[in-house]
Structure formats: structure tokens, C-alpha cells
């Protein structure tokens, strides 16, 4: 069944440690224009107001940098994503960095409060830190923890101040539900760069990881039924695709935290097309294209555009 696709552009990049991801969505659009693709003309494009002015001032939140701004981003995403879904449309979110993904999850749960939500997280990183465990304070490493309503106090390394705790609790509860997802309803794909605190919580929660070697050994086609079986009890699925899940030597270093030995672009595209074909999938998010870091001009955006175009064509069949 053909879906009404709406592109939701989120240029806020306040949760990453490097600058330039705010240019990522426009770089993808530029790649589309270079290829004379009509996908951004044939489908509605909505723009969220960005809060990148937070980058022009110091932050007092050492273990959750610019969390005050992120609360605003979560609220706006909650409203926009739920509105698109309530209008029976399919949001493809093109975001700057990954820290805002918890707001997307909030929006999905607001639209479908009674439905069980599965999450497929395609990324080099687990993004399940909290203010209590973060080594950097960068909140693009925390979105899944907000969706899980997880503090991971068991692995505490930081003494977090009361104001940060208050904002963190507010972030977790946006959309008036917490937790929004269950650990058993998460599947990681291509995660390969984690800290000890993350490894310990992944073990404790029993979150499934599918690594690159397994995909390469068994093939994407063989792995997709395994993923679907894992999430068989979920009513709906959200897919979050960080471009650093791909191997930078096969793409480019045009992303904030590249990690070698990732997916081939062809593998990433095959996975995402398969997930777009899954009738349970209700939202796909694409994040962390950073043209400022791209040593091959706009190569990462061009590869990402190719994937986004194929996703869009699949959804509109």
C-alpha cells in the first residue's frame, strides 16, 4: 500500500561533540538536486525550528550538555511526529545528530499510546549512556536511555547535580509515558564501539545485537526474518539509521564519530529497504551526515541520499 511520505527536517545539532551536522539534511537535499531527483519536490517537507543558538553560549550542564535545549527539541519532535502519524502519513526524519531520536520515539508513542513499539537501531554506537555514566556529557550518546526511562545507576561514575536530574527526568517523560519501549523490543545492528558502562547495561537488559560479521556471514536476506521474529510481539516499528553504521573507508569520514569495519553501503540500503517494506514500520530516521568533516566533498550525503531515495520509492509503491 502506497504511503504518504513527509520529510521532517531537524537541523538542531546541540547534542554532538563536533560541529557541522546541522548541514547534513541540506547536504542530502543538495545530493538529490545534483542527481535531478524529485523526491523533495514530490513529497511534503516540514522543517523544525532549530535551537543551535545554544551552541553560541556555554552550558552549565557538565554531564548532559545543553539538556535544556534538548527538552525543547524533544517537545517539538513529539508534537510534529505524532501529528504526521495521526494524519496517516509516514515520517522520514532527516536529523542532524542522534541525540534528538528520543523525541521521535516520544512522538510515535504519543500517536500510538496503546501499541507496543519496537526499535531497530542501526549505528556504530549503543547510545544508551545517561548523565550518570557518560564520559563526555554529549547527549547524542543518550537517546535510547531516555526512551527506556533508564538511569543506569548501577554503573554510576558521575555525581550529577539536581538541576540536571530534574531536566533529565523531564526529558524521559515527554509524551506523558515512561518507559516508551522495552529492552526486549530493541535490536541493534552494526554496533561496535561501546564503553564499559554501556556493555554492562546491555548485558543486564539483554538487548540483542547483530554485528557486521554476522550479517556478512549470513547475508542481509537471511538476517531480516531473524529480526522480524525478535520483534514479532511489537505492533509497530521505528528504524533509526546513523550513517556511522557504515564503514568510513567505503563511504567517507563525513560523520561525527566514524568507526571502521562497518556496513557496506549496499548492505545498509538492503536492510533499510527491507524494513521499509515491513508493514509494521511507521517511521524511519536518518542522522549524523556531517559535510564539514567529509574528505570526499559531499560523498556521505550522496550515499545517504541514494538510500533515502530507495526508501521513499519503496514506501510509495
Q: Which residues of 53-80 are buried (b: 16+ CB within 10 A; e: fewer)?
A: ebbeeeeebebbbbbbbbbebbbbbbbb
* pLDDT digit string, tens, across residues 142-162: 999 999 999 999 999 999 999
5-10 and 44-47 beta bridge pairing: parallel
pLDDT in tens, 48-96: 999 999 999 999 999 999 999 999 999 999 999 999 999 999 999 999 9
pLDDT above 70 covers what percent of the chain? Answer: 100
Which pLDDT value is given to residue 248? 98
* CATH code at position 261: 3.40.800.10
Domain of 211 in residue numbering reads as 5-315
DSSP-based three-state secondary structure for 122? strand
Q: What is the pTM of this model?
A: 0.98
Specify the pLDDT at position 222: 96
Residue 1 pLDDT > 90: no
Lookup: cell for 92: 522520514
Domain tally for the chain?
A: 1
Amino acid at each position: 500500500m502506497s504511503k504518504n511520505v513527509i520529510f521532517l527536517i531537524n537541523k538542531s545539532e546541540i547534542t554532538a561533540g563536533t560541529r557541522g551536522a546541522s548541514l547534513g539534511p541540506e547536504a542530502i537535499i543538495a545530493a538529490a538536486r545534483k542527481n535531478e531527483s524529485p523526491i523533495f519536490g514530490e513529497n511534503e517537507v516540514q522543517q523544525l525550528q532549530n535551537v543551535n543558538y545554544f551552541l553560541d553560549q556555554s552550558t552549565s550542564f557538565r554531564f548532559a550538555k545543553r539538556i535544556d535545549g534538548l527538552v525543547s527539541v524533544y517537545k517539538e519532535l513529539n508534537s510534529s511526529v505524532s501529528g504526521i502519524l495521526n494524519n496517516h502519513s509516514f515520517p522520514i526524519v532527516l536529523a542532524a545528530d542522534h541525540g534528538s531520536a528520543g523525541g521521535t520515539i516520544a512522538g510515535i508513542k504519543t500517536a500510538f499510546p496503546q501499541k507496543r513499539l519496537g526499535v531497530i537501531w542501526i549505528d556504530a554506537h549503543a547510545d544508551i549512556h545517561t548523565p550518570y555514566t557518560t564520559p563526555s556529557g554529549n547527549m547524542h550518546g543518550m537517546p535510547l536511555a531516555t526512551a527506556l526511562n533508564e538511569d543506569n545507576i548501577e554503573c554510576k561514575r558521575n555525581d550529577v547535580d539536581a538541576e540536571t536530574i530534574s531536566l533529565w527526568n523531564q526529558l524521559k517523560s515527554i509524551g506523558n509515558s515512561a518507559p516508551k519501549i522495552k529492552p526486549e523490543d530493541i535490536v541493534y545492528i552494526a554496533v561496535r564501539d561501546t564503553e564499559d558502562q554501556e556493555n554492562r547495561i546491555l548485558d543486564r537488559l539483554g538487548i540483542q545485537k547483530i554485528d557486521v560479521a554476522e550479517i556478512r556471514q549470513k547475508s542481509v536476506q537471511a538476517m531480516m526474518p531473524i529480526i522480524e521474529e525478535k520483534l514479532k510481539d511489537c505492533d509497530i516499528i521505528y528504524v533509526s539509521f546513523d550513517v556511522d553504521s557504515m564503514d568510513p573507508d567505503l563511504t567517507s569520514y563525513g560523520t561525527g564519530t566514524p568507526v571502521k569495519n562497518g556496513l557496506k553501503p549496499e548492505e545498509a540500503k538492503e536492510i533499510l529497504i527491507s524494513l521499509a517494506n515491513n508493514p509494521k514500520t511507521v517511521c524511519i530516521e536518518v542522522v549524523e551526515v556531517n559535510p564539514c568533516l567529509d574528505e570526499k566533498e559531499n560523498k556521505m550525503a550522496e550515499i545517504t541520499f541514494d538510500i533515502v531515495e530507495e526508501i521513499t520509492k519503496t514506501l510509495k509503491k
